[in-house]
Amino acid sequence: MGIAVTILGCHSATPRINAFPTSQYLAINNRHFLIDCGEGTQRQMRKYKVGFSKIDHIFISHLHGDHFYGLVGLLATFGILNREKELHIYGPKGIKEVTLLQLKISQSHAKYKMTFHELSSNKSELIFEDDKVTVRTIPLDHRVYTNGYLFTEKENAKKLHMDNIRNYKEIDKADYLNIKAGKDIVLSTGEMVSNSELTIPPTKPLSFAFCSDTSYKPEIVPIIKNADILYHEATFLADREDLAKKTKHSTTKQAATIAKHANVNQLILGHYSGRYKDLNLFKKEAQEIFKNTELAEPGKTFTIL
């Protein structure tokens, strides 16, 4: 259980000395995902000790270079490291052709299977599900086809309340499955012990919403409602709303407004334009609308347990 998002890169457009393009490593309910993969991501993974072998699923929001030019290098490195496990890659239609051509021309012969899940729908859809986590797309509005991703824990099972169970000597291990399944227990005396006394309710499933590059888009609010952490790009400060609109990006205040309306717990900002030196202004402006705002920075991990 729990969420930990590690920022690998959080700047826009071009890699600079200490400004790496978008990539995040998400651990959620013991599942491990890589989200976006700008140039230099594999170096950042090594720097922040993200185990390469943990990653079985990579989600790419869109095919602008600052979100996916690092993908082919990472896939080639997996090959060099003799990876054998299947890897799933989710991203816009076209990602398969360009990635396979690059790997082919560089004669990167990987032993492992790559499965591409190409996306083209403009509606939110379930694209991944196992017993621990679901992943849904968050259709965004950018200059190219773009999705954010909503990662949600599956409802966890009830836990046995062992201290209370021990009060009833005749309840034994044979009853545990029934108790976990929500059943009440009738003792030999005829007394009924309520299931709620014998169990600890499951913790609320946590969720993380990743919204990469997008115009201000209030239509996403119902999809990300009550998310525990929302990463939302804020390329510009509020005074450049004109430029945000033109380039289909968001401002600090637009990101904060989305966070407020969606009633999330925490907002993380990122994808700062290279024109800004003092990033604290981003936090300050957003906090005027949404108090619990933090700034993405490489190596920082945001955790909810």
Give the residues lining the site for its own copies (CB under 8 A).
13-17, 39-40, 42-43, 46-47, 63-65, 68-70, 72-73, 76-77, 80-81, 94-95, 97-98, 101-102, 105-108, 143-144
CB of 175 to its own copies, least distance (A): 54
Beta pairing partners, 128: 135
66 a catalytic residue: yes
Instruction: State CA 297 to chain mean position distance.
Output: 16
Phi-psi region of 286 (alpha: psi -120 to 50; beta: other; left: phi over 0): alpha
Question: Between residues 67 and 232, which has the closer beta carbon with respect to its own copies?
Answer: 67
Nearer CB in complex with its own copies: 136/249: 249
Choose the catalytic residue: 36, 66, 213, 228: 66
- The DSSP secondary-structure symbol of 44 reads H
From 18, 16, 60, 57, select the one nearest 37 (Cα to Cα).
60
CB of 60 to its own copies, least distance (A): 11
**Separation CA 176–CA 229 (nearest Å):** 34
Considering the complex, state which of residue 72 and residue 119 has its C-beta at the smaller distance from its own copies: 72
Q: Where are the alpha helices (DSSP H) in 48-159?
A: 65-68, 71-80, 95-105
Report in angstroms how near the CB of residue 52 gets to its own copies at its nearest.
Answer: 10
Instruction: Please state the closest distance from residue 143 (CB atom) to its own copies, in A.
Output: 7
Terminal alpha carbon distance of the chain: 7
As a whole number of angstroms, the distance between CA 15 and CA 157 comes to 44
Instruction: Indicate left, alpha or beta for 153 from its phi (over 0: left) and psi (-120 to 50: alpha).
Output: beta
92 vs 270 by CB, closer to its own copies = 92
Nearer to its own copies, 46 or 159 (CB): 46
CA distance 194 to 206: 27
Q: From the CA atom positions of the chain, what is the Rg in Å?
A: 22
Place of tokens 């969420």: 3
Distance of CA 207 to the CA centre of its chain: 8
SS3 241: helix
Instruction: Using the minimum distance from each CB to its own copies, give the nearer residue, 70 or 148.
Output: 70
What is the rounded CA–CA span in Å between residue 216 and residue 140?
9
Q: How far is the CB of 77 from its own copies (least distance, A)?
A: 4
Please state the closest distance from residue 57 (CB atom) to its own copies, in A: 21
Catalytic residues: 66
